[in-house]
Amino acid sequence: MDVRLLLENTLPGLGFELVDVELTPGGGLRVFMDKEGGVTIEDCVSVSNHMTRLFMVENIDYSRLEVSSPGLDRPLKKEADFVRFAGQLAKLRTRLPVEQQKKFTGRLSGVEDGVLKLEVEGRIVEIELSNIDKARIEPEF
């Protein structure tokens, strides 16, 4: 069974959003989840216990399970993430150059027809979501 699909179907029922899942060296699983208001340690323990039982029932083999929040520099993976965090500062890297560069830091200004609008130094840069290799919130203090 596809672990990502299983988590995408299970976590919302527990009140969480799947941000990402990673395979770690040695066969471990690292699950990043989020919820409105943030994730607590108790949330991680509860979800970890639930996932342990679920993986046993679904016969998913893993050596170690880690469950955590995505952190202040949360990765942006889906179109909904770019919409949800509009107005926030973000760092991103593209697969192919846009305006002769691949690394950008700017304010998320929305998404339209699969194209991210990023305010960089007072101008709007348009980047196709399919061209984004990595994107993260840039924490502001």
Q: 59: domain range?
A: 3-68
Q: Do 96 and 62 share a structural domain?
A: no
pLDDT of residue 1: 64
CB atoms within 10 A of CB 57: 7
* Residue that finishes a domain, picked among 28, 49, 68: 68
- Both structure tokens of 103: 């690394």
Q: Do 89 and 58 share a structural domain?
A: no
Alpha carbon distance 29, 67 (integer Å) = 8
- pLDDT tens-place values along the chain, 141 residues long: 689 999 999 999 999 999 999 999 888 999 999 998 999 999 999 999 999 999 999 999 899 999 999 999 999 999 999 999 999 999 999 999 999 999 999 999 999 999 999 999 999 999 999 999 999 999 998
Strand partners, 115: 112, 128
Q: Do 123 and 85 share a structural domain?
A: yes
pLDDT of residue 27: 87
Do the domain assignments include residue 117? Answer: yes
38 φ, ψ (degrees, to nearest 5): 100, 165
Q: Do 21 and 44 share a structural domain?
A: yes
102 φ, ψ (degrees, to nearest 5): -120, -15
**Whole-prediction pTM:** 0.82
Q: How many domains does the chain have?
A: 2
* Residue that finishes a domain, picked among 68, 94, 123: 68
Residue spans of alpha helices (H) in the chain: 3-10, 41-57, 79-84
Q: Do 62 and 10 share a structural domain?
A: yes
Alpha carbon distance 105, 117 (integer Å) = 12
